[in-house]
Amino acid sequence: MAELGYVGLGVMGAAVVRRLLGAGHDVTVWNRTREKAEPLLADGARWADTPRAVAESSEIVFTMVTNADAVRAVNEGDDGLLAGLGSDRLYVEMSTASPAYTRALAEQVAATGAELLDSPISGTSITVDQGKASLMVGGSEEAFERARPVLEAIGPRVIYVGPSGAAVTMKIAINLSLAVQMLAFSEGLLLAEKSGIPREKAVEVMLASVIASPMVTYRGPLVLGHPDDVWFDCRMMQKDMNLALELGRQLEVPLPTTAVTNQLLSAANGMGIGTRDFAVLFDVLASMAGLETDILAGATV
């Protein structure tokens, strides 16, 4: 069993820590607000007062925070995570930042004598809890093999992608597809509904059809209600879509459906529902089609 550290206890981060504790690892945690850590402390995690203290007590330390600015915030300064790293430590960065930033962070980590792996998760907190999530890993193959037994405690499918930044690139490619799938599902559903087929029946049929990917299976029912189910909100998804569009410009890859979907995420924010799960792409499109939904009825701009 390894001495592990974890910084960032949002919905996904907390799910990962539960998996690590369940596998018998010792886990020291830190979060900007201690309140989110309390359930994990009750399950056996240990609290540290700073990210630096987490790194100092851990063979492998993880971060999962909102964006590159948040990664910088937990890394820099006398109490930052980088100050607590040293020789033979591993740092696994699970946030979704830009590949360029991830490669720059890898250089900073190397200067401390440690190694960085970027390892975002494909899945929701539910798939993590169920042990069905998959992980992508970028960095050196040697560091990957060292971390692999711990990563397999988080999810059974752990795939080495390539050098530093490769895994977060793959994560961006996957996430743009999630939002585009949700928009396509919504288009078909609204076409059926405005033809006279009840929304509930159309969802039932679509989830029994060949289009029922894991994403559609999880999020499809959200169009029928469940406004409090927020696995990945519009603002977080739009952050990843913007990363994808920037990569597309750099690599000269056209991303037309990503661009359109991103505009509808902007509309969701403008309509006052941007803090909802990105499944509200359905509600945005429903509004354009002249249909009301429960979420839109309660929205405040």
Helix (H) or strand (E) holding 10: none
Q: Mean pLDDT by 10-residue block, N- to C-terminus, for the chain (301 residues)?
A: 93 96 97 95 97 97 95 96 96 95 97 97 89 95 97 96 97 96 97 97 97 92 81 92 97 98 97 93 95 74 45
Helix (H) or strand (E) holding 230: none
Give the residues across from 136 on adjacent strands: 159
Q: Are 293 and 265 in contact (CB under 8 A)?
A: no
Domains, in order of start, for the chain = 3-163 (3.40.50.720), 169-297 (1.10.1040.10)
Give the span between the Cα atoms of 138 and 132, in whole angstroms.
20
The 10 Å CB-count burial string (b at 16+, else e) for 55-64 is bbbbbbbbbb
Q: What is the pLDDT of residue 296?
A: 75
Give the span between the Cα atoms of 250 and 253, in whole angstroms.
8
E strands, the chain, are 3-7, 26-30, 46-47, 60-63, 90-93, 115-118, 121-122, 134-138, 157-162
Give the span between the Cα atoms of 41 and 31, in whole angstroms.
12
Q: Which of 188, 126, 198, 119 is nearest to 159 (CA)?
A: 119
Give the span between the Cα atoms of 74 and 116, in whole angstroms.
15
Q: What is the pLDDT of residue 301?
A: 45
Q: What is the pLDDT of residue 123?
A: 85
- The position carrying tokens 């792409």 is 281
Read off the amino acid at residue 246.
E
Q: What is the pLDDT of residue 299?
A: 62
CA torsion, points 95, 93, 64, 50, in degrees to nearest 10?
-140
- The structure tokens listed for 269 are 């924010």
Q: What is the pLDDT of residue 157?
A: 94
Give the span between the Cα atoms of 122 and 127, in whole angstroms.
9
- The structure tokens listed for 234 are 């519009």
Q: How would DSSP label each residue in 85-131?
A: --TT-EEEE-S---HHHHHHHHHHHHHTT-EEEE--EES-HHHHHTT
Give the span between the Cα atoms of 90 and 260, in whole angstroms.
39
